[in-house]
Structure 1
């Protein structure tokens, strides 16, 4: 195929370079731009995502410097750098930091790859990772250059080779999907995360769906269910469009242990728990959901009784009808009566001249959930009993009863036997409400469910707050598992919301972020854990010494990574982790 003589070498690979640039931007959470030796924009993201093929007429002083000197350029204080002097955009420039790296083909500079920050947070990311980002971009640029030099006599088929090489050299798991959402390729980290061989990936049907369906556009990693044939895995990642393909970029921080999502009933997506007691509870709910009989849910405060009530409703034949919930303990007795039964015009002083429909009537054909039913007064208990017996409701001030068809689901954390014995609750009403009893276990009795709930609440709260999904350290998870949770699931949800707010962007939730009272938590098998930590520390020391020795002995980072048998990006992260020297030889 003859190539346009007017196009630069980089422009001839523009679709591939654009996809790479978009991917690079998503991974590093910085905007990126690529220009060729003639200052023609090849690719870019954010403000630089248009006018491809056009020559820059402003903001080109730093690019010219890099092209002429063949040296990288870092600017972490925009508008104060000498190269910014005389720039026509200096007064209106929104860039807070810049990192530009030359793309070298033998002795020629054929273009520049740059990372740009527009916020203080992004500026700090560049400032703290200058050498790390520079080394990584230089390594990837050489892969591009190799393909550029080899592509003069090749057809466009070679473009996929470039793209595959770029992805394969990433330490982050990546799946490539075509326009029909079929997985075409996965790099080795992705295969490791999914516990699947490359050959099997090409054979099985792969489907990726978000764990929670939201109609928002929040960026960042979120939880997804990846179906691999009949097997399902929970993976943290994000989608990114790239010229007719979609990239699924997996987060470095995956859940501490992979677990299959085997629940066959999607209606239970809000009832999180796989321990024996919760499985038995789900089975019971499935069996009684379609019955019209009353249900009484008993459980400690914060165990999630309304979630169970909603599950009963959602699985019933009434699921398309109203679900009305009211907390009997939160409303004064006089107001609770008018809320439940409603009233007619002029029923009492201060009543609305239009009257009011009560919640019992509003729930007609549906489900009425009475939370904390044990706090209802004896007077209202008698009126509620009449509703259940007669299947009709009498609004306050009315002489006409209104027929109703409702299912009552109630909940309490009180001991009804004691309340009935002390004449605080009507025994006849209790038997009407307790036709189908459900006991919701406290969180401390739900072995193995804490981690599932942690992942669930991380997904919920990161979406609500609008931040990326963080990892959680194994020691922190061990503390959460060992805690006794007096406030049950509600306490766990509140804690995760707090942690999502305080964890630095991109970091893991570690034990130092947990509230002080977790320091007293005794982790099971503590002796074994201490020995394991000591062993891990000694292995880390050995790894640090081995990497440092290889860096001092070999000429470049790629040779070091090859000798150690790790990816180049992994090497960079370990260099940063151990605080090793990153000066070039």
Structure 2
């Protein structure tokens, strides 16, 4: 008989579990899913990244098996496993492998955390790392248990966590009810809509896609948001979470992008003191006040927008707009209207008031064009005209508008190859590449990883609203020795993940790192603590104290409370000292 009384225990933490699951999937490079004891999807990625809060409508034999037996289940050859026999979806099943672990609390099964492969490559990753992934997911399940126990006595935990998560998001978010009426909006959304929270609460808001076929397309699309009698054209997409609809606005909203640059101290966000970064900072200082175009070249995730911001903040334009747009993230037809704007009636579905393009909006300031190599040849020609004539022609207009902007662009592409294959205009390249800046990959920045770790720990603990956890020398050494193929972005994502899962009051240790760090060889060994042979070591004393408390107290939670540590830390130390049978 399945436990039908614990749905709310996981649902109280749904936003946190969702965010955690997405990060877990990213670091393991395999899709993940979490369901509760009623087979309701709490979180998921890939094909399972929607319909949260809904009961699974397909055959759930493997989940039922785990929930009933409280045992993990691994399937590395789908369709031939005995549990797959009789499955109504066997013929159309896309899953190639599965690893599921129960979430157990006080002999009750709250749900299942699973890794799911949909490709042969992912199947091989699970097959080759079954024990490694299994041990890691079991540890994660205990962290989920500890978070459930922390929230058990908070009646309004869901609302608090849900609202806090949305408020700390950088992109605009509107929360809608079943009738698509707006119930709540965070500050970035209010900024995009040019409204106060009070006004939003009093205004009837309606959101409709610009074209009906947009409902069938994935990703960001243009929507018309009616605010009483006023209408705004906003780029965003709908998500379902916690019985609500969320409208997530794209980062490249014109209104959210047109922001007066803050007067930041020199290089406060350009973290790094290695030789290459010091040389880069010197170069930025020299060229910041120049009106010439800058082209930043570097691998994906190296922080090209951070450098562009630094150039802007050190320039004479720092009190004027800094507008950033990712050319690779926006469909070509939308990118043209975003950059150049349009006049009233320029095309079917155009806003009745027209739209100011980002080039014009960046007047007197800086326009940052990320992934410029993905821009179409047609738009390249129009951008070249802007650079040569210093004026922009909105779509549907016959009158050019003068603009005074500095363009900073960035790419990880090889322009020599693109020019040779006629995928990029040579004349535009020379216009953009007046001042070239090369951003080194993180693996070549000796000594900077630790500085960045400290920086991101501070940033993410403030954003999430938790205490600064610190990090052990062993974990720091392991992170310092990693090759970081995803560069600074990968490091930032990992630190955010670790800040989410580290038990409160504990340090980030090596056992919290994703499994692929087990194969990382430290650059230098951490010197062991030398104990007097005649005295008992601290670890031996700790082991005896934990063993004695477990033998005396029947409840693990009481043991943790007596020892003054979190429940997840207790489970970790039980595993460390081999006390699992006590």
With normalisation by structure 1, the TM-score equals 0.47
Higher-Rg member (1/2): 1
With normalisation by structure 2, the TM-score equals 0.47
